[in-house]
Chains A and B, each alone.
Chain A
Amino acid sequence: MMAKLIGKRITRNEDPRLLTGQALFVDDVELPGMLHAAFLRSEYAHAKLKGIDLSAALERPGVVAAFTAEDMGDDWAPGPPLVIPPPTIEDVEFYTRTQVPLVKDKVRHAGEPLAIVIADSRYIAEDALDDIVVDLEPLDVVTNIERALEPDSPLVHDDLESNLAAHLVQEKGDYAAIRESADKVIKRRIVIERGIAGAMENRGIVASWDNKQQQLTVWDTTQSPIPIRNGLASMFGLSEHQVRVIAPFVGGGFGPKIMMFYPEEVLLTWSTLKMGKPIKWIEDRRENFYATTQERGQIHDVELALTNDGRILGMRDDFLHDTGAYDPYGLTIPLNTQCHALGPYDIPNFSSDLKVVFTNKTLTTPVRGAGRPQGVFVIERMLDIAAKELGIDRAEIRKRNYLPRDVFPYDNLIIDQAFSSFVIDSGDYLPAMEKALKLIDYEKFTQEEQPKLREEGRRVGIGVVSFIETTGVGPYEGARVTIESSGKVNTATGVGTQGQGHFTTFAQIVAEQLGVDVRDVHLVTGDTAQFHWGTGTFASRGAVVAANAVNAAASIVRGKVLKLASELLDTPEEELELEDGVVRVADIPTQFISLGDLAQRSNPLRGAVEPGTEPGLEATAYFGPKYGATAFGTHAMIVEVDPETMMVEIKRYIVVEDCGTVLNPLIVEGQLHGGVALGIGNSFYEKLVFDDNGQLLNASFADYLIPTAAEIPTIEIAHQVTPSPLNPLGSKGVGEAGAIPVPALFAQAVENALGVDGLEILESPLSPQRLFELFHGEEKDA
């Protein structure tokens, strides 16, 4: 089948609704008699809860109810873990400690909820928060992950011996032995700080119990409506069919909205069941800084063993990973870090000792990139340093170490986030690098322009890094495709949608199969009443797992269409074609039947449907890949640093992306633009600053800096296509790709721009202040 629509730059089906304010977001849900909730959150990061007095709050006019953990009785329970640690790794130590709906005995991070107030309006609910009297006894706080492992550190969980949440060692080959015989061993410490996801829409929930219908409906900004439904049903003793979870349009997910169960999801549901009234809670921006999960904090001790000509013999990467106060998400993030530290390179010997650490901070779960940017930062920085020390060009050392194109599928022999062996399905790294070098004119810049600029006193630098992105992991997604009697096609799938363009890419696939207009394919996503099998939108998997399920379902429907049309037109199936919403006899344009007519014929009001057949032109299909599809690419940038003010300007930004089959370049490029922007934030702007008491010092967008359009350069994108052999469409994910290599690239380019012997950037994010310290040698403020 010649692709007519797949791969086309088609504008998005969902945009007219989104751009004219017609799309439904959770906060748009208004129900008769709806009440509003606000949460009282702890100001301390670590404290013993000795008592809460709600009486004054309850007396305030307009307040309907208020509850503490005690009020929940037997319904109070720590949340179930979301991802259980890997059984496939030997000797893994893991201590499961999960978040609680409301604090009962001890606060473990600032912002942890202590009580819920439900009132006629959010205003009144917030007024009432000030009426609540809380008796908290502050405890010593630990925020630093190294400090947390010291024997005398305060304990986040008193029943554990230490703040160690998990310990795991992954090994491949024999690093210790190869280290002895290496020409060169480079050793560095790398520190990566924590940030937020910063979706434009914060979290929000509306929960409503209809007693007459015995039906619970929950609108939730989740990336995972189906697991939320299943979990709520089991938590509250309801049948799954009594629970409908709707994730409508969601204003950005970026990972934290896959977390479950957030305390608010439990509390809103519990309260509506108890009170029989619909209740809304919309997280505000300040709450988001405490109550929504975060990511990235890690400290790495890395060694790279090489030959004199720059071939990697082995790598050791021992690191600490900050999980915050709880660890419901298992080891997903640090397993990603380990896999991506191997990158697109042939690293025969590898050893990585990982310790996951509890701290008195908001918990961490994947944020777009999910451990990958840290791994990429580690290997790319080490290669930069190796290149310098061995006198090899930065691009050249990468080329010498790429896995060659003929080794795939390539088994990296360590366990990945899906707990299976980390196998790379396909790849072709060298051309992506060559293309990026050409686009940014690497030779000319380094040989001619840079020396000239340097003579004028200007500090302009170039960077180039490679990366891989594991995407599209299982277990599976499903879809149902139905041709309606109007000839339009309805497609339902379980993954939620947060702006990725599913309404368009999935429509393209269906339209390709059925020969209809892309605009005539209607998509329903994220409503458990419409489709209730699946897991969710995460790990850059929509275009791989869900798209292939859509493709499979559409292709079965195509088979049904052809079979029925063949009977009605009395023509063999091979001689029929689907185009413009009709089935046509190939050589006789006047002989055709429309899809709408076929749909009606397949679902007659009189007559008999033959035994063994089904009515309608409809099919449901599932797709589960054997393992993830690994995308890759090279990014390059030119930056200028003002050596006096230490302000940085990105002058050029190049992306060469290979995400297999490109379903819609417009959408892929949109994903890359957003990803790079987030990456730039991670590189130079976004850092959560905690004081020694675990207080967040920048819990607002005035002080937590997210780059805006003015800080993001024009991003020049080139595509390369190496299809994945693991799925019929050949697609790989691209949702996180943009963000992943940026911190490594930015550090390299800025280091190159400064061009000072011995000045190495071994941390992320940077800031003008930090560059000032590094460049002008300021001593740290006491």
Chain B
Amino acid sequence: MKPAPFEYIAPTTVEEALGHLAEYGYDAKILAGGQSLIPMMNFRLAQPSVLVDLNKLAELSFIRSEKDGELRIGAMTRHFQVERDDLVAEHAPLIHEAMPKIATPQIRSRGTFGGSIAHADPAAELTTICVALDGRFRCQSARGERWVPAQDFFLGMFTSVLEPDEMLVEIAIPPMAPRTGWALEEAARRAHDFALVGVGAVVTLDAKDCCERARLVFFSVGDGPVEAVKATEMLIGKEVSPDLIRAAAEAVTDELDPSADIHASVQYRLHLARVLARRALEKAFARAAAPGTQAA
């Protein structure tokens, strides 16, 4: 379990890093926290000939909020920094709630927010949450930069719209509307494992306590974040009741096409998806209705 030979470059500015990516293209791989990439290299599943290490790019490690309340997280911000950040807890409580469920404290001390997104693992919490929260990603290359909505970023298993010469530099999460509730539910074999099935729910109530908006995005059930659109449409404009939630949760299976592995069959995954969707919606609606969320 030793990696194949590779060149190692540790640029000190984003510009320099982008220059290397432009030069080496497909032969290069970005090294962020290394928590996913290094094991893949040790298994020789990934054999990049050049590693461009971003760990010296302090400029990519930040958490701040814009004037309009939008939360900005630098790609090289470590999971543990996000986990303990008050701004994140306040502006994006769903992210705050998800952090302890990602891997172990050891892995969170190295793994990065940007690495998690760029890796595009269909079992990752953060990819799904960014979709559920309508996040956007700033991608840079020597050719220029673009903002890509999270919705459009993920193309499939471990693949995204990022070009080989492109780097994810920043994540933006818009502020939540008033009377918005959230929840993350997952079922994992061990505390630190990737979930067998997980779901993030974000719901907004209108002044008449009817459901104005609802997002239900799953992970570990497909090639990437999977949104149950039709199931959530059943909620829009309706007064929320346990029966309605149950019906919506039951309906999610029509939109999911999970595969089986040694830990969970298709039937079990679909069953979990229904159970977790119901629990997530119950919790999210309860939070949306709670007095504290009125003012936000």
A interface list, Cβ under 8 A from B = 122-123, 126-127, 284-286, 644-647, 685, 689, 697-698, 700, 702-703, 705, 707-708, 710-711, 767-769, 772-773, 776, 778-779, 781
How many chain-B residues does the 8 Å CB contact rule pick out? 27
Q: Which residues of A contact B268 (CB under 8 A)?
A: 646, 768-769, 772-773, 778
Would you call B267 and A778 a contact (CB within 8 A)? yes
How far is A781 from B43 in the complex, measured between Cα atoms in Å? 30
A284 touching B262 in the complex, CB below 8 Å, given contacts A768-B187, A768-B196, A769-B268: no
Say how far B106's CB is from chain A's closest CB, in angstroms: 11
How far is A781 from B269 in the complex, measured between Cα atoms in Å? 12
Q: Which residues of A contact B191 (CB under 8 A)?
A: 708, 710-711
A703 touching B190 in the complex, CB below 8 Å, given contacts A123-B2, A127-B4, A769-B268: no
- Contact with B2, one of A122, A685, A689, A711 (Cβ below 8 angstroms): A122
Q: Which residues of B contact A644 (CB under 8 A)?
A: 275
18 A/B residue pairs, CB under 8 Å, sorted by A = A123-B3, A126-B1, A286-B1, A644-B275, A645-B187, A645-B275, A707-B190, A708-B104, A710-B192, A767-B189, A768-B187, A768-B263, A768-B268, A769-B264, A769-B265, A772-B268, A773-B268, A778-B267
Q: Which residues of B contact A767 (CB under 8 A)?
A: 189, 263
Q: Which residues of A contact B189 (CB under 8 A)?
A: 685, 705, 767-768
Would you call A781 and B263 a contact (CB within 8 A)? no
How far is A464 from B90 in the complex, measured between Cα atoms in Å? 47
A708 touching B187 in the complex, CB below 8 Å, given contacts A286-B43, A769-B263, A776-B271: no
Would you call B5 and A127 a contact (CB within 8 A)? yes
A643 nearest CB neighbor, chain B only: B275
Say how far A195's CB is from chain B's closest CB, in angstroms: 14
A705 touching B193 in the complex, CB below 8 Å, given contacts A645-B187, A781-B260, A781-B266: yes
Within 8 A of A (CB), among B181-230: 187, 189-193, 196
How far is A164 from B189 in the complex, measured between Cα atoms in Å? 37
How far is A702 from B121 in the complex, measured between Cα atoms in Å? 14
Q: Which residues of A contact B1 (CB under 8 A)?
A: 126, 284-286
Flag whether B272 is at the interface (Cβ < 8 A).
yes
How far is A781 from B4 in the complex, measured between Cα atoms in Å? 38
Say how far B51's CB is from chain A's closest CB, in angstroms: 15
- How does the 8 Å CB contact mask read for B95-119 relative to A, with 1 for contact and 0 for none? 0000000001000000000000000
A708 touching B190 in the complex, CB below 8 Å, given contacts A122-B2, A127-B4: yes
Say how far B195's CB is from chain A's closest CB, in angstroms: 11
Q: Which residues of B contact A700 (CB under 8 A)?
A: 43
Among A127, A286, A769, residue most surrounded by chain B Cβ atoms (within 10 Å):
A769
A708 nearest CB neighbor, chain B only: B190
- How does the 8 Å CB contact mask read for B1-18 relative to A, with 1 for contact and 0 for none? 111110000000000000
Within 8 A of A (CB), among B238-280: 260, 262-268, 271-272, 275-276
Q: Add 9 more A-B contacts to A705-B190, A778-B268 (CB < 8 A).
A: A122-B2, A126-B1, A286-B43, A645-B276, A702-B39, A708-B191, A708-B192, A710-B191, A772-B271
B interface list, Cβ under 8 A from A = 1-5, 39, 43, 104, 187, 189-193, 196, 260, 262-268, 271-272, 275-276
Say how far A667's CB is from chain B's closest CB, in angstroms: 27
CB-CB nearest 4 A-B residue pairs:
A710-B191, A284-B1, A644-B275, A645-B187
Say how far B262's CB is from chain A's closest CB, in angstroms: 5
How far is A685 from B188 in the complex, measured between Cα atoms in Å? 12
Q: Which residues of B contact A707 (CB under 8 A)?
A: 190
How far is A647 from B104 in the complex, measured between Cα atoms in Å? 19
B196 nearest CB neighbor, chain A only: A768
How far is A716 from B219 in the complex, measured between Cα atoms in Å? 38
Q: Which residues of A contact B190 (CB under 8 A)?
A: 685, 705, 707-708, 710-711
Q: Which residues of B contact A697 (CB under 8 A)?
A: 262
A779 nearest CB neighbor, chain B only: B267
Q: Which residues of A contact B275 (CB under 8 A)?
A: 644-645
B4 nearest CB neighbor, chain A only: A127
How far is A710 from B103 in the complex, measured between Cα atoms in Å? 12
How far is A708 from B190 in the complex, measured between Cα atoms in Å? 8
Say how far A39's CB is from chain B's closest CB, in angstroms: 12
Q: Which residues of A contact B272 (CB under 8 A)?
A: 645
How far is A774 from B43 in the complex, measured between Cα atoms in Å? 36
Say how far B123's CB is from chain A's closest CB, in angstroms: 11
How far is A408 from B192 in the complex, measured between Cα atoms in Å? 48
Q: Which residues of B contact A776 (CB under 8 A)?
A: 271
Would you call B192 and A781 a contact (CB within 8 A)? no
A778 touching B262 in the complex, CB below 8 Å, given contacts A123-B5, A710-B190: no
Q: Which residues of A contact B262 (CB under 8 A)?
A: 689, 697-698, 703
Say how far A457's CB is from chain B's closest CB, in angstroms: 14
How far is A779 from B193 in the complex, measured between Cα atoms in Å? 26
Say how far B189's CB is from chain A's closest CB, in angstroms: 6
Q: Which residues of B contact A703 (CB under 8 A)?
A: 262-263
- Contact with A778, one of B3, B39, B192, B265 (Cβ below 8 angstroms): B265
Q: Which residues of B contact A781 (CB under 8 A)?
A: 260, 265-267
How far is A547 from B128 in the complex, measured between Cα atoms in Å? 57
Q: Which residues of A contact B260 (CB under 8 A)?
A: 781
How far is A645 from B279 in the complex, measured between Cα atoms in Å? 11
Q: Which residues of A contact B4 (CB under 8 A)?
A: 127
Q: Which residues of B contact A685 (CB under 8 A)?
A: 189-190
Q: Which residues of A contact B187 (CB under 8 A)?
A: 645, 647, 768
Q: Which residues of A contact B192 (CB under 8 A)?
A: 708, 710
A772 nearest CB neighbor, chain B only: B268
Would you call A126 and B2 a contact (CB within 8 A)? yes
Q: Which residues of B contact A645 (CB under 8 A)?
A: 187, 272, 275-276
Q: Which residues of A contact B276 (CB under 8 A)?
A: 645
How far is A708 from B104 in the complex, measured between Cα atoms in Å? 10
B197 nearest CB neighbor, chain A only: A645
How far is A285 from B43 in the complex, measured between Cα atoms in Å? 10
How far is A702 from B271 in the complex, measured between Cα atoms in Å? 23
How far is A722 from B262 in the complex, measured between Cα atoms in Å? 45
Say how far A127's CB is from chain B's closest CB, in angstroms: 7
A706 nearest CB neighbor, chain B only: B190
Say how far B53's CB is from chain A's closest CB, in angstroms: 19
How far is A647 from B275 in the complex, measured between Cα atoms in Å? 12
How far is A698 from B268 in the complex, measured between Cα atoms in Å? 19
How far is A767 from B261 in the complex, measured between Cα atoms in Å? 13
Q: Which residues of B contact A769 (CB under 8 A)?
A: 263-265, 268
Q: Which residues of B contact A123 (CB under 8 A)?
A: 2-3, 5
How far is A711 from B189 in the complex, measured between Cα atoms in Å? 10
A123 nearest CB neighbor, chain B only: B2
Say how far A776's CB is from chain B's closest CB, in angstroms: 7
How far is A286 from B263 in the complex, measured between Cα atoms in Å? 19
Q: Which residues of A contact B43 (CB under 8 A)?
A: 286, 700
Say how far A779's CB is from chain B's closest CB, in angstroms: 8
B274 nearest CB neighbor, chain A only: A644
Q: Which residues of A contact B5 (CB under 8 A)?
A: 123, 127
How far is A286 from B265 in the complex, measured between Cα atoms in Å? 25
B264 nearest CB neighbor, chain A only: A769
How far is A779 from B264 in the complex, measured between Cα atoms in Å? 13
Among A285, A644, A646, A702, residue most surrounded by chain B Cβ atoms (within 10 Å):
A644
How far is A123 from B4 in the complex, measured between Cα atoms in Å? 7
How far is A451 from B239 in the complex, measured between Cα atoms in Å? 36
How far is A773 from B5 in the complex, measured between Cα atoms in Å? 46
Among A689, A711, A768, A776, residue most surrounded by chain B Cβ atoms (within 10 Å):
A768
How far is A769 from B192 in the complex, measured between Cα atoms in Å? 18
Q: Which residues of A contact B3 (CB under 8 A)?
A: 123
How far is A700 from B40 in the complex, measured between Cα atoms in Å? 12
Say how far A35's CB is from chain B's closest CB, in angstroms: 15
How far is A499 from B104 in the complex, measured between Cα atoms in Å? 25
How far is A391 from B106 in the complex, measured between Cα atoms in Å? 50
B191 nearest CB neighbor, chain A only: A710
A645 nearest CB neighbor, chain B only: B187
Q: Which residues of B contact A705 (CB under 8 A)?
A: 189-190, 193
How far is A781 from B187 in the complex, measured between Cα atoms in Å? 20
How far is A285 from B192 in the complex, measured between Cα atoms in Å? 19
How far is A644 from B189 in the complex, measured between Cα atoms in Å? 14
